[in-house]
């Protein structure tokens, strides 16, 4: 008889030697087999009966498995991982030490505005970017942020620790993506007291703070931002990329330029001569408290080619989002709390919020539809507002026109809705097709339809309460109006009997003569030819 399982025990601690409660200890024992447990209050854990891998069990057999130990939630997760060899019939002691970086301690991350999508942010220490430039040196560790390759709709603000408190030259953050492309980022703030640098980015990669010497051969690129249009707010934070695909050194180069609102800008660091080339302005991103901004069209390129030269380009800025506010009330004028307001802004894109206790609601940063943004552009979107459960949920539907950079007020009345249907017949009981049915409901909404070939009609989403229903013959000969009570539980049948005469030759017709020339040439032998147009008139053509 031989043993076929092993046992694993130990303790989980952090980098400081403190015990960690609740850490997940995970052993992967094959493609579809795993063992897991959590550490106790004292940090200890036990996993028993871990099966060995074998075709035929043998004495003292062993198996090597991979393990991972994690504690916390992204982005503040601490981990340990590796491989471990277990022996059948034996207890192995394995202590784990969790390491990892935690935001809010030595790193900080904050979107400048709320993100519409959820992301699991994480960060790990990375090997140095090792940027080669005479006199440049790293003044902090390199960190790789995830998820990479995602372009965020608003800037993400990152704070990195520094190794020093004083920088003799100029401090910049260098970013390197998975393809090896280098970007220079101007910091928003360098804090010598807390040894930290803060900067903005639109996507994640490896970031490392660098000190650059002054006085190297370079060129300057400067200009001014200005608003193109009339908006409720002006952006307080703006940034854009200044990019060259093929520099003098046969490498790409990108400079992230932050600007404090609508003011002047300068590309930093000054472009060194070995990075001279044709640069383009990538789309600008700006934000205020309630709106996003961008560039209205591709900006002109700049050929940077001369040392000590200054290149100037002014850049227009336009708003690209709108803002919707208002109140939701019921038919009695009372505020409605918790109503769901949904704006359908395109295929698969919705903006959703709920009304507050006083019935008020606000939806910020509603993106407008455009190929190229223009000043004060507008978009019309359908909306729906619902509160409660069917069939008697209170709701309202319609369209709203939004304008970029403007706050639009839309007050909404929600009511329970019902259906109205019925038929229209003549005095002989025959169905009347084409009759027009008009409704004015208790909320003042108007709707209409026409009867089909069987004389039937249906109107949906009619506000609960008193409604005026009017039926009119297609030719307007007869009309009838009824006042009815609409409810959300049962459909309401409203029938009409109208005196709608069919087209024909009736007494009191009008005879009209038109001199139209010889309609029939030599064959015109009759003095009159008559053509029936409707039941009211006979038009007779006179042949001359």
Partners of residue 541 on adjacent β-strands: 514, 529
3-state SS, residue 8: strand
Give percent of the chain above pLDDT 90.
44
Q: What is the pLDDT of residues 220-237, one digit of tens each?
A: 999 999 999 999 999 998
What whole-number distance in Å separates Cα of residue 165 and Cα of residue 163? 7
What does the pLDDT read at residue 77?
A: 62
C-alpha of 183 from chain center = 27
What mean pLDDT is predicted for residues 145-150? Answer: 82
Q: What is the pLDDT of residues 493-515, one digit of tens each?
A: 999 999 987 654 444 434 444 44
What does the pLDDT read at residue 540?
A: 44
Cis preceding linkage at 18, omega within 30 = no
Confidence of residue 18 (pLDDT cuts 50, 70, 90): confident
Q: DSSP letters of 386-428?
A: EES-TTS-EEEEEEEEEETT-EEE--EE-EEEEEEEEEEE-TT
C-alpha dist (Å) from residue 262 to 11, 379, 428: 56, 25, 76
Torsion over CA: 166, 171, 175, 181 (sign)? negative
Secondary structure element (H or E) that encloses residue 462, with its range: strand 456-463
What mean pLDDT is predicted for residues 303-318? Answer: 95
Q: Does 100 score more than 70 pLDDT?
A: no
pTM, whole model, 2 decimals? Answer: 0.61
Q: What is the pLDDT of residues 282-305, one digit of tens each?
A: 888 898 989 999 998 788 899 999
Please write down the long-range contacts of 90-94, taking CB distance under 8 Å and 24 or more positions apart. Answer: 90/3, 90/6, 90/7, 91/6, 91/7, 91/8, 91/9, 92/6, 92/7, 92/8, 92/9, 93/9, 93/10, 94/8, 94/9, 94/10, 94/67
What the chain holds in terms of domains, given with CATH numbers, is 5-98 (2.60.40.1120), 108-212 (2.60.220.30), 218-319 (2.60.40.1120), 321-413 (2.60.40.1120), 416-497 (2.60.40.10), 510-542 (no CATH)
Six-digit token string for 214? 């002054």
């Amino acid at each position: 008889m031989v043993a076929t399982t092993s046992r694993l025990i130990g303790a989980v601690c952090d980098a400081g030697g403190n015990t960690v409660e609740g850490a997940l200890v995970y052993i992967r024992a094959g493609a579809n087999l795993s063992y897991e447990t959590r550490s106790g209050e004292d940090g200890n854990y036990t996993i028993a009966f871990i099966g060995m891998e074998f075709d035929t069990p043998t004495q003292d057999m062993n198996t090597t498995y991979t393990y991972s130990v994690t504690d916390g939630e992204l982005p503040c997760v601490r981990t340990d991982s590796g491989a471990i060899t277990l022996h059948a019939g034996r207890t192995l002691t394995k202590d784990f030490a969790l390491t990892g970086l935690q935001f809010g301690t030595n790193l900080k991350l904050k979107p400048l505005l709320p993100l519409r999508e959820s992301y699991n942010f994480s960060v790990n220490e990375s090997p140095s970017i090792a940027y080669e430039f005479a006199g440049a040196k790293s003044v902090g560790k390199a960190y790789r942020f995830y998820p990479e390759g995602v372009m965020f709709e608003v800037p993400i603000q990152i704070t990195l620790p520094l190794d020093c408190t004083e920088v003799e030259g100029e401090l910049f953050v260098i970013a390197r993506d998975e393809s090896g492309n280098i970007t220079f980022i101007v910091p928003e703030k360098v804090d010598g007291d807390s040894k930290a640098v803060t900067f903005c980015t639109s996507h994640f990669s490896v970031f490392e703070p660098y000190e650059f010497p002054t006085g190297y051969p370079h060129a300057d690129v400067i200009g001014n931002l200005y608003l193109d249009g009339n908006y409720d707010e002006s952006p307080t934070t703006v940034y854009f990329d200044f990019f060259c695909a093929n520099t003098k050194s046969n490498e790409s180069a990108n400079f992230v330029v932050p600007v404090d609102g609508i003011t002047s800008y300068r590309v930093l660091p000054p472009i060194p001569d070995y990075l001279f080339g044709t640069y383009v302005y990538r789309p600008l991103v700006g934000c205020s408290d309630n709106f996003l901004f961008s560039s209205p069209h591709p900006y002109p390129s700049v050929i940077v080619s001369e040392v000590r030269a200054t290149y100037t380009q002014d850049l227009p800025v336009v708003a690209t989002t709108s803002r919707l506010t208002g109140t939701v009330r019921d038919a009695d004028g009372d505020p409605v709390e918790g109503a769901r307001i949904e704006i359908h802004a395109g295929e698969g894109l919705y903006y959703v919020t709920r009304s507050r206790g006083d019935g008020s609601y606000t939806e910020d940063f509603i993106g407008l539809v455009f190929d190229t943004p223009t000043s004060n552009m507008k978009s019309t979107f359908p909306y729906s507002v619902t509160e409660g459960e069917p069939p008697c949920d209170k709701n309202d539907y319609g369209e709203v026109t939004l304008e970029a950079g403007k706050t639009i007020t839309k007050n909404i009345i929600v009511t329970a809705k019902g259906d109205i249907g019925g038929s229209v017949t003549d005095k002989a009981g025959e169905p009347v097709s084409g009759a027009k049915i008009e409704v004015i409901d208790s909320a003042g909404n108007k709707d209409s339809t026409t009867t089909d070939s069987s004389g039937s009609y249906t109107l949906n989403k009619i506000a609960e309460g008193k409604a005026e229903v009017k039926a009119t013959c297609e030719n307007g000969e007869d009309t009838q109006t009824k006042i009815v009570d609409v409810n959300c539980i049962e459909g309401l049948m409203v029938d009409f009997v109208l005196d709608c005469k069919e087209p024909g030759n009736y007494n009191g017709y009008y005879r009209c003569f038109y001199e139209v020339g010889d309609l029939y040439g030599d064959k015109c032998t009759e003095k009159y030819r008559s053509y029936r147009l409707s039941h009211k008139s006979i038009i007779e053509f006179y042949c001359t």
